[in-house]
Amino acid sequence: MAEKELKIAKRSQIMDKPLPVILDEISSSIEVAEKAAADARAAAEEARRAGEVAAEQVMKKIRKLFLKMSQDITEELKTDK
């Protein structure tokens, strides 16, 4: 029974608010959601860029390692002759 009364009380509050107040609340909620979405897009872009930088650094290390290995192999082959 208390639950039903609570629902009626909530419904009454909505009906007691003037329409311009309700529309202002909706408008501000939309603005907050749009800002949050923009922040999320910016964070995703920053994460993408950070991932690209990390991948480039790893590739540089791999290239350096490969170059060192090929130099070592070349030197080893020269000494075997």
* Domain annotation covers residue 52: yes
* Domain annotation covers residue 59: yes
Q: What is the DSSP string of the chain?
A: -HHHHHHHHHHHHHHHS-HHHHHHHHHHHHHHHHHHHHHHHHHHHHHHHHHHHHHHHHHHHHHHHHHHHHHHHHHHHHHH-
* Domain annotation covers residue 29: yes
* Domain annotation covers residue 58: yes
* Domain annotation covers residue 9: no
Q: Quick check: 74 pLDDT over 80?
A: yes
Q: Is the whole model's pTM more than 0.85, yes or no?
A: no
Please report the pLDDT score of residue 70 as a whole number.
Answer: 95
Number of domains in the chain: 1
pLDDT digits 0-9 by tens, 33-50? 999 999 999 999 999 999
Which residue range(s) make up the domain with 52?
A: 19-80
* Domain annotation covers residue 8: no
Two structure tokens written together for 73: 């192999």
* Domain annotation covers residue 11: no
